Structure 1
Amino acid sequence: MTRVFLRPDDVRDLVRDRLGTDRRVTALDRLTGGTKKGVYRVGLDDGSSVILYVWSPTENYWPVSASVPDDPFADASGMVLFVTNHAALTAAGVRVPHLFAVDRAGRHLDDDLALVEDAGGVTLEDLLDRDPGRAAEPLARLGDALRRMHTTFGPRYGQLTDAWSGATGARAAEDVILDRALGHLDGATARDPRPAAARDRIAAHLRRLRDRVTPRRAYALVHGELGPDHVLVTPAGEPVMIDFEGLTWFDVEWEHAWLRLRFGAAYPALRPVPLDADRLEFYRYAQVLSLIDGPLRIAEGDFPDRRWMLNLAERNIAEALAAL
């Protein structure tokens, strides 16, 4: 695919129509890190800026792949999910970027888009790496936000656009994750000889972990892939959650397996809600398999930081095999 990204002239009419005729675009910078949508910082003539999200095939680096039909985390991208999830997080008292405008494809650009507040370029990951003392307050406030999410319950698991309609959640969530993980295992074994050689042992370990999980049906709001890079920190120390299109009603252990992985030594400062240890370990191992398959798949394409993805897969191959 030939990827064509936006230029300042492409967004001038959008900014004028949505932010006022007195606003003029002075700069347009495409921000790195996104894999499913384009993220741009739009500089304005008064010295301020806004963020533009664009959902376009040319901005999506993920190749098409098979998925479990009732996997609530599949295809978690798009303007409708963004707007729905933005409203749900706001209602739960979670700080997200202020939403200024959304546009359907065809009005200003060929793709769906959203204009949101520019909450700054400092992430919680930056602070944890460079200034842990300054990270303490936003980390604690993020923990408060997560507890509000994880005590806000829905009727069944699934994306918020589906769950209230009954479109998902017919079988046990852990069975969906088992099938999802086995699919990731198939993807990993097709791309690397080490998981291929251990496929039967990995699958048996995964099923043993599943069998230890006791039935439970209580589904809260989970971000899905929240890391410290998905939390911006304002100059006032306020954590702002981003990249929440994967927001889902699901088991809180799924969230905390990911949080433990991504926050590392800082994780206890989030003060999590009570968790089921067996469900947590099952979900953790399933996520390890996804972090082999996903990075290996995206590295086969033209993602600009291919080496980073291969290193991520390498670490998780070692993690998957160490559990055997």
Structure 2
Amino acid sequence: MAPVSATQRVLSPDDVVDLVRASFGPDRRLLDCGPLTGGAFAAVWWARLDDGRDIVLKVAPPPTVRLLRYETDLLAAETRYFRLIAERAPQVPVPPVRYHGRHPRLGEWLVTGRLPGRALPELDGDDGQARADLGAAMADIHRITGDRFGYDAGRTGGPTWRAAFTAMIDDLLADAVDWDVRLPVPAQRIRVLVDRHADLLDLIDRPALLHVDCWDGNVLATADDHGVYRMCGLVDGERFLYGDPLLDLVSPLLFRRTEDEPAHPFLRGYAEATGVPLVFDDGDRRRLALYRMHLHLLMTVETPSRGSTPTNDPDRHALLSDLLDRDLTDLAAD
């Protein structure tokens, strides 16, 4: 299967055999395997082993491939995230880590157990309860506290949420220059608006664990005995960081304004799990606008590495440009 983007390694079944043996020993046999779709960073395959286990194999980009600054060591980060959730919030269904390895010839890879269920966009019925389950899971994850803000393991972060978030924005703006990405506004306007709202970032004094990438494709669900879809898996934790829990209320309502949909099942599940009604004041709304701007900026800056150009993907580029402009207009309003 051809890669979706330049960051994805091209794998063959023989490559999967080599990686399985490197993970579980030379006597472990592969019964079947195939590529999984939906992502655009790592190459991801499913496999069935001769001991009956179903696994997911995720392989990092080749070391020669250019990455965005925050994409450094993402598979190692995902390994840490899944293990942390398993230890500190075991009620949240994340894939069990089976192996994480690096090899001069094979590269870097992560093996997890394969969870049941289908991603939310693939369901053929009401997904409201599954989204409420996701909200409850996010509330559980947000109870975990880190020792600093931003990314872990010496990556971009800081002692305050203001410092970490500002550095994350600066990284993306530097990536835009490196990749020659044309932004809908000058980079300095983005910096000025972040600085204008920095006092709101200083209100966040606890670095909560955040998933960051809870779009529908990363949420798995299966029907219970009554035919109700329930969440059974949360995947792709590689982009996790520590910060303001409000940031994690953006991606589950992708391309929408979270604060305008208080009855959304995800927000209902989150509020019920925390025991605190979600009421967004003006400061919350402005922080949410900052976090939408961060997400839409990231999605804009990553387009060249994903093989997306204004010529071959004009609708995506137009959408992101409109969304980013809307975010900045919201932040500039008095």
Which position in structure 2 is the counterpart of 1:289? 297
Q: What is the RMSD of the two structures over their aligned residues, measured on CA atoms?
A: 3.8
Which position in structure 2 is the counterpart of 1:39? 44
Shift of the 26–162 alpha-carbon distance from structure 1 to 2, 3 Å rule, reads: same
1:86 to 82, 86, 93: 82
Shift of the 287–238 alpha-carbon distance from structure 1 to 2, 3 Å rule, reads: closer
Taking structure 2 as the reference length, the TM-score comes to 0.72
Match runs of 1:126-137 below 5 Å = 126-127=122-123, 130-132=124-126, 135-137=127-129
Shift of the 234–20 alpha-carbon distance from structure 1 to 2, 3 Å rule, reads: farther
Query: Hey, what's the Cα distance between the residues in 2 that align with 1:79 and 1:46?
Result: 25
Which position in structure 2 is the counterpart of 1:210? 198
1:320 to 297, 321, 324: 324
Q: Which amino acid aligns with 2:94?
A: V
Taking structure 1 as the reference length, the TM-score comes to 0.74
Shift of the 77–193 alpha-carbon distance from structure 1 to 2, 3 Å rule, reads: closer
Query: Hey, what's the Cα distance between the residues in 2 that align with 1:143 and 1:220?
Result: 15
Q: Which amino acid aligns with 1:140?
A: A
Identical positions, percent: 21
What displacement does 1:292 show?
A: 2.5
Query: Hey, what's the Cα distance between the residues in 2 that align with 1:100 and 1:131?
Result: 32
Match runs of 1:245-260 below 5 Å = 245-260=238-253
Is 1:223 equivalent to 2:201 in the alignment?
no
8 A contact 2:47–2:54 mirrored in 1: yes
Which position in structure 1 is the counterpart of 2:185? 195
String of CA shifts for 1:228-263, please: whole Å, max 9, x gaps: 111122455342111101222221122223333368
8 A contact 2:44–2:56 mirrored in 1: yes
Which position in structure 2 is the counterpart of 1:70? none
Q: Which runs of 5+ in 2 are unaligned?
A: 1-5, 225-229, 259-263, 330-334
Match runs of 1:1-324 below 5 Å = 5-12=10-17, 14-15=19-20, 24-44=29-49, 49-57=54-62, 63-65=66-68, 67=69, 74-75=70-71, 77-91=73-87, 92-93=89-90, 94-106=92-104, 110-120=106-116, 122-127=118-123, 130-132=124-126, 135-162=127-154, 168-170=157-159, 172-181=160-169, 184=172, 187=176, 191-192=181-182, 194-196=184-186, 203-234=191-222, 236=224, 237-261=230-254, 266-272=265-271, 277=284, 278-295=286-303, 297-298=304-305, 302=307, 307=312, 310-322=314-326, 323-324=328-329
String of CA shifts for 1:17-50, please: whole Å, max 9, x gaps: 7568886434332222333321011245688642
8 A contact 1:95–1:240 mirrored in 2: yes
What displacement does 1:117 show?
A: 1.6
Query: Hey, what's the Cα distance between the residues in 1 that align with 2:242 and 2:18?
Result: 37
Query: Hey, what's the Cα distance between the residues in 2 that align with 1:118 and 1:287?
Result: 28
String of CA shifts for 1:176-220, please: whole Å, max 9, x gaps: 423543554572895447435xx6655544443335544332111
Shift of the 307–44 alpha-carbon distance from structure 1 to 2, 3 Å rule, reads: farther
Count of aligned pairs between the two proteins: 299
Shift of the 111–304 alpha-carbon distance from structure 1 to 2, 3 Å rule, reads: farther
Shift of the 120–5 alpha-carbon distance from structure 1 to 2, 3 Å rule, reads: farther
What displacement does 1:111 show?
A: 1.3
Q: Which runs of 5+ in 1 are unaligned?
A: 68-73
8 A contact 1:76–1:245 mirrored in 2: no
String of CA shifts for 1:139-172, please: whole Å, max 9, x gaps: 2222221111112222221334349xxx9423x3
Q: Secondary structure at the match of 2:153?
A: helix
Query: Hey, what's the Cα distance between the residues in 1 that align with 2:7 and 2:80?
Result: 31
Shift of the 262–138 alpha-carbon distance from structure 1 to 2, 3 Å rule, reads: farther
Q: Which amino acid aligns with 1:321?
A: D
8 A contact 2:133–2:266 mirrored in 1: no
8 A contact 2:220–2:234 mirrored in 1: yes
What displacement does 1:305 show?
A: 12
Q: Secondary structure at the match of 2:100?
A: strand
Shift of the 113–234 alpha-carbon distance from structure 1 to 2, 3 Å rule, reads: farther
Query: Hey, what's the Cα distance between the residues in 2 that align with 1:137 and 1:117?
Result: 24
